Structure 1
Amino acid sequence: MPPIILLILKALEGRGAERMVTTLARAYADLTYDIHVLCLEYTQDMPLDSRVQYHVVPYDEVFSEQNIEPKSNQAQAYEAVARHIDDYVLSQIGTPDLILANIYKINWIMAYSQLPNIVNVLHTALSKQFQNPLLDAPVQTINHLKMVYGAHPCSCVSDGARQDLLALIGNVNKTTTIYNPCAVDDIQKAAKQSLALSQFGITYKGYMIQVASFDSMKGHHDLLHAYAKTARRYPLVLVGKGRLESEIKQLATALGIDDCVKFLGFQANPYPLIASAALLLLTSKFEGFGYTIVEAQALDVPVISTDCPFGPRELLPAKSLVPVGDIDGLAILIDQAIDNLTHYIVPLNQQLLPNHIARQYLAFGSVLNS
């Protein structure tokens, strides 16, 4: 029997953690493993390889069946969901040889799980994600995080995120750094899909792009303020969706740059847009990794980024980075990059290929089981 690999996450939404899961799932399918993806919501913005078995255990149904109000007792609610996941996995999938639990909510739920071989995958920096709770209730927050991340070994998607974890809660469990996989062949193939740029009012290599959800951590406010200070030789294309989208549109109007900023919404396949861009930007306030950086590298597209905690500095040279919040510096770097685009092309690290990353998780799991 081939080893059973189980990847758990909230839903297959179009973000970095979900791209990691779909890419890694395919890599394990290529290794002919028995690969499963389990979600807690039905939302599916991203496709899975046909060889991957897809499961949904809706947590809202668990809350309803057991008459639990998660807002009043989240720990009790998540413990009930963990029991439900355990029962489902053992009866419908079997005993996994490796379980990768992705993102904080799943990490918390799986802290109550009795399943073996669980590894928490941290996709961001905890000190940034929990910045406000750490200020408001530091002891309670740190004790909670020790409970969540002390339950199972942890893998972080950048070494900066791992060091952040250790600094915050101490060495409460085994940890490692395993970067997110970059499916170069898939990205390059997807980038060749026919796309009429004219429908968006843009031309090949005649625009710059940011692909990110409209969330405060992604730094759209700073990006627009910086872009307004540039020569604006190329329009700025924003791909993504999120709760701040209307606010950012209003800001573009207020800054008088709405004729130069194009909102394209969520794109299931953003790669033709990335490949056709003159420059890709990442202006996050914090990241665990910075997926769009390596995706641009796979397509030989120049990249500049904020030097945010913690991923970009492990993927890009110093010349391609600007401090978070330095709007004038970002404006200058954008204009410099447009003046000399080839100077900001960085080759992809071949160790980020999916088969390498898949084997690293297996090696970490085998160490834990030895």
Structure 2
Amino acid sequence: MKSQNKTIILTIFSLQGGGAERFVLTLAQGFKQLGYQPHIICFKNQSDYCLPDDVPVHCLNYQAYRWIPKGLRYPIFAKVFDRFVKRHIAAEPALLLSNLWQVDQVLKYSRLPHRAFVIHNTQTQERQVHTELTDQALSRVYRGQHVVGVSRGVADDFAALVSTTRSLTAIYNPIDQPAIIQQAQEPLDKALTSGLAAGYLVHVGKFKGQKNHRLLIQAYAKTQRNVPLVLVGQGKLQAECEQLASELGIADDVRFVGFHSNPYGWIAGATGMVLSSDYEGFGLVIAEALALGVPVISTDCPSGPSELLPADNLVPVGDVVKLSEKIQDLMDNPAAYRSAFDSQLLPDKVAQRYLDVVGK
């Protein structure tokens, strides 16, 4: 007999930007649609999003425990976490989801049942940047756990590194198409949209190495630049990208419009979306663009884009010439790159698959 407990806990370090953070907020709504009560627990009180009124968000002060050596800190904070959940939320949640490495290292020690760990990126790529993700470290955290990869590519990559999980499942990220369409209708800042009425290309993502904005700007510079390029996001590499656009003589054609918690108006109004990433876990913004009927082209990352887009919409990773040619074709014939949205990505469908992982 299945448990009647209707409490779900989604845990993430903070709600500051990023696809994993949007994933948590969207999936919470999927559980609501199924009649569950989701709670979000963060380890840092920081958010770039308007938080939902119907989903409680709790913050635990992880910073206060940073003075403790990691080997002791993680199990100690796991006890703090468990005690908080039992006292303030539920003695035994129906499902506890852990998101991202910092949180996973703590919740590995949790004594709460029905845990699952969500892997948001290909670990072979992540470990090139985060050297602590050794085979030994990954095995220590995920051995005997339910693990979910946000794409088949992420799951396959993880399986090659860790063979001792309790279960390993690929579940695509949830996309709340009706909410996205509604949010896309909110007006954009007129000061930022001046001169864009005839169309533009859009990229949405943090300015970091993974997203390879440099490749995108270099490829765009080689096109006829029929329409401007709009870059939505912020990050430590933004100034470097602004300098590159200036050096290439295209500063007037490239718009840096900053981070927007609601990027959907920018996506909906675009002639097309371009992704230039070196790697993606799923490619959340691709699926969001498809939900809005916007054409998308992308680099063919080891996982993600090829699971959402036809082969003709993809170019090899790092190939500036091929990307430039594809961008030009997108500007000339955007309808050729429009793809259908998969209704299996709707939040309630995805939420049910997560419940299935732990037998709920």
- 1:142, 1:122 → 2: CA distance? 15
Would you say 1:19 and 2:22 are equivalent positions?
Answer: yes
Query: Which residue of structure 1 lines up, in the alignment, with residue 355 of structure 2?
Result: 362
1:110 to 91, 107, 123: 107
Q: Aligned partner of 2:82: which letter?
A: D
Query: Which residue of structure 1 lines up, in the alignment, with residue 118 of structure 2?
Result: 121
TM-score (norm 1): 0.92
Would you say 1:37 and 2:40 are equivalent positions?
Answer: yes
Shift of 1:197: 4.4
Give unpaired runs (5+ residues) of structure 2: none
Q: Aligned partner of 1:7: which letter?
A: L
- 1:133, 1:127 → 2: CA distance? 10
1:78 to 67, 71, 74: 74
- 1:145, 1:49 → 2: CA distance? 33
- 1:280, 1:147 → 2: CA distance? 39
Structure 2 counterparts to residues 258-337 of structure 1, below 5 A: 258-337=251-330
- 2:325, 2:258 → 1: CA distance? 27
Q: Aligned partner of 2:214: which letter?
A: H
Q: Check conservation: 2:43, 2:61, Cα contact below 8 A.
A: yes
Q: Check conservation: 1:7, 1:36, Cα contact below 8 A.
A: yes
Shift of 1:196: 4.4
Partner of 1:351, secondary structure, is helix
Partner of 1:13, secondary structure, is coil
1:48 to 37, 42, 51: 51
Cα 1:321/1:290, change in 2 over 3 Å: same
TM-score (norm 2): 0.95
Q: Check conservation: 2:19, 2:284, Cα contact below 8 A.
A: yes
- 2:5, 2:201 → 1: CA distance? 45
Q: Deviations over 1:55-94 (max 9, x none)?
A: 000200233xxx42xxxx3232222221211111111111
2:195 to 195, 202, 224: 202
- 1:198, 1:242 → 2: CA distance? 22
Query: Which residue of structure 1 lines up, in the alignment, with residue 332 of structure 2?
Result: 339
Would you say 1:234 and 2:227 are equivalent positions?
Answer: yes
Q: Check conservation: 2:122, 2:303, Cα contact below 8 A.
A: yes
Aligned CA-pair RMSD: 1.6
The count of corresponding residues between Structure 1 and Structure 2 is 356
Cα 1:30/1:205, change in 2 over 3 Å: farther
- 2:118, 2:139 → 1: CA distance? 15
Q: Check conservation: 1:133, 1:141, Cα contact below 8 A.
A: no
- 2:7, 2:350 → 1: CA distance? 17
Query: Which residue of structure 2 lines up, in the alignment, with residue 186 of structure 1?
Result: 179
Give 4+ residue runs of structure 1 displaced > 6 Å after superposition. none
- 1:51, 1:6 → 2: CA distance? 14
Among all aligned residue pairs of Structure 1 and Structure 2, give the percentage whose two residues are the same amino acid.
39
Shift of 1:253: 1.2
Cα 1:297/1:90, change in 2 over 3 Å: same
Shift of 1:174: 0.8
